Amino acid sequence: MNPLRFHNTLAGKIEDFKTIRPAEVGMYTCGPTVYDYAHIGNFRAFVFEDLLRRFLEFRGFKVRHVMNLTDVDDKTLAGARREGKPLAEFTEKYTQAFQEDLDTLNILRPNHPAEQPRATREIPAMIQLIERLLKKDRAYVSEGSVYYRVSSFPGYGKLSRKNLEQNIKGARVDVDEYDKEEGADFALWKKAKEGEPAWDSPWGKGRPGWHLECSAMSMKYLGETFDIHAGGEDLIFPHHENEIAQSEGATGVPFVRTWMHCRFLLVDGEKMSKSKGNFYTLRDLLAKGYDPMAIRYALLSTHYRQPLNFTLEGLKAARESLERLDHFYARLTDPLMKTRSEKGGATRRVALTKIFEEGLIRFDEALSEDLGISEAMAVVFESLREANQQLDRGGLTGEDSSACRGIVEKIDSVLGLGIADNLKPSPAVLKLMKEREEARRKKDFQGSDDARKRIEQLGWSVKDGRPGEPSQLKRKKRVWEKE
């Protein structure tokens, strides 16, 4: 098998990927700030990370994947205040929504620890980390807040290649951080403001800084040195630079082996923003009727180190590609196809299975080189074209069918597009089904209809049985089946 090579932001180049422990990968990906529904830019990052994880698992690694939830910061506090809700209640709504969205896009849920760690529940680990930094004189207390002393860490700037003197020292000073020694210093612990949720600490009531949250949670669950840390390119500076300063400043050992960052998603060539009207949450697109797997396809199919230009045209093209994949898989499983070609199938069997065996090797090769998704998809469609030609000549035996299906399923375990019809209804879909049954029982037709619509948006359709029988869920067929 090809060695794995990934682009490491820290090295500034593509490197051989070597894990700390054989056959195991510890991976931390910065999670969402749960103050609103996540937008498709966020999902570009999460889908890239999902491809990375699925590919590592395909290659036989046991991946411990940690993704935090940032449930306290300026944005969450402002949101809770605006809605007049306790912080935890406010963030719970968006946490649930985020997890539903992961399922909708068939993004594997982070698997370590069992529940995604939330900043507000990990305060003790954060306080401990601050104490270590204070002991090493890398931090100082000032008027109830604690700051990181950037000038104490000689490696500062190594990830973002920023020059401390020129770029960092003159950095903007946050209005509420006037008590810092230097402009580049950043808050590890912020003194509580009147009326804000706050936690006890040796420095008085307050809350953790965002950068500190990720250092503390990643090291708690993955150890002081771990394999992969990933996120969008906006996180390189200052977030990840500060994480390195905090973690290495406290432990004295390298924090992360491989840093991976995806470029930003743009909409119609422009930065997404609410004021420009080109801002989409996943839910906005579902409400417009786009298939979740077409959205996944569109997010997945541009190489992660290329900017992704998201357009509604592109979504249509994504759906067409998916339809081709679906159609092909259906041909492989079509019993008529098989009986028609039982005669003289032996020579063809070799050919068809061989096309896919070779395809799988090349698919793996493409992804091994820094997740080369464009080449990998090209291989898939090339194999498909060749195989379709074989099938047109009428060649499919039972053995062919199952060997090829097995390979397509393997490919789809990496792409996660549900080609092999292996998608299970997500907990969100099952919950809506329950709500719908309940509404039907109460003869609440509007409620039942609303639930059905939501279920359809999530890519499933409902078939009602006879009175008294439960309704059936079916994966909504993509368009080619309707024709």
Q: Are 433 and 473 in contact (CB under 8 A)?
A: yes
Residues forming the site for Zn ion (CB under 5 A): 30, 214
Q: Does 33 bind ligand AMP (CB under 6 A)?
A: yes
The 3-state DSSP class for residue 27 equals strand
Out of 7, 44, 138, 257, the residue judged to bind ligand AMP by CB under 6 A: 44
130: part of which helix (H) or strand (E)?
Answer: helix 123-135
Residues 6+ apart with CB under 8 A from 290: 315, 319
Position 102 contacts ligand AMP (CB under 6 A): no
232 binds ligand AMP (CB under 6 A): yes
Asked if 199 touches ligand AMP (CB under 6 A), the answer is: no
Contact flag: residue 209 with ligand AMP (CB under 6 A): no
Which segment (38-46, 55-63, 243-251, 322-330) binds ligand AMP by CB under 6 A? 38-46
Q: Does 117 bind ligand AMP (CB under 6 A)?
A: no
Residue 32's binding partner, choosing from ligand AMP, Zn ion, none, with beta-carbon cut-off 5 to 8 A by kind?
Answer: ligand AMP
Coil vs helix vs strand at 116: coil
- The minimum distance between CB 396 and Zn ion, in angstroms, equals 49
Determine, following the binding rule CB under 6 A, whether residue 231 of this chain makes contact with ligand AMP.
Answer: yes
Helix (H, G, I), strand (E, B) or coil at 267: strand
* Nearest residue (CB) to ligand AMP, 281 versus 448: 281
Q: Which of 58, 199, 237, 264 binds ligand AMP (CB under 6 A)?
A: 264
Choose between 181 and 234: whose C-beta lies nearer to ligand AMP: 234
Q: Report the chain's terminal Cα–Cα distance, integer Å.
A: 42
Residue 264's binding partner among ligand AMP, Zn ion, none (Cβ under 5 to 8 angstroms by kind) is ligand AMP
Q: By C-beta, is 230 or 332 nearer to Zn ion?
A: 230
Task: Give the strands of the sheet with 139-142, arranged side by side.
Answer: 139-142, 145-148, 186-191, 206-208
Q: 185 Cβ partners below 8 Å, 6+ apart?
A: 147, 148, 149, 150
Query: Binding to ligand AMP by residue 284, rule CB under 6 A?
Result: no
228 and 15 in contact (C-beta within 8 Å)?
A: no
272 near ligand AMP (CB under 6 A): yes
Q: Which residue is it, tokens 């098989």?
A: 338
Nearest CB to Zn ion, comparing residues 27 and 414: 27
Q: Which listed option, ligand AMP, Zn ion, none, makes contact with residue 232 (CB within 5 to 8 Å by class)? A: ligand AMP
For the stretch 133-139, contacts whose Cβ atoms lie closer than 8 Å and that sit 24 or more positions apart, written own/partner, are 133/188, 133/246, 133/249, 133/250, 136/249, 136/250, 138/245, 138/249, 138/250, 139/188
CA dist 281 → 29, 169, 274, 387 (Å) = 20, 36, 11, 38
For residue 431, the minimal CB distance to Zn ion (Å) is 29
Burial of 126 (C-beta count, 10 Å sphere; 0-12/13-18/19+): buried
Which residue's Cβ has the minimum distance to ligand AMP? 232
Q: How many alpha carbons lie under 13 Å from residue 172 in its C-beta half-sphere?
A: 4
CA atoms of 143 and 115, how far apart (whole Å): 35
CB nearer to ligand AMP: pick between 45 and 462: 45
Q: How far, in Å, are 33, 190, 208 from residue 199 at the CA level? A: 19, 10, 9
Per rule CB under 6 A, is residue 51 in the interface with ligand AMP? Answer: no
Q: How far is the CB of 229 from Zn ion (least distance, A)?
A: 8
Beta bridge partners of 7: 14
Residue number with CB closer to Zn ion (29 or 383)? 29
44 contact choice in Zn ion, ligand AMP, none (CB below 5 to 8 Å, kind-dependent) = ligand AMP
Contact flag: residue 41 with ligand AMP (CB under 6 A):
yes
Using CB under 6 A, list all residues that contact ligand AMP: 30, 32-33, 41-42, 44-45, 231-232, 234-235, 262, 264-265, 272
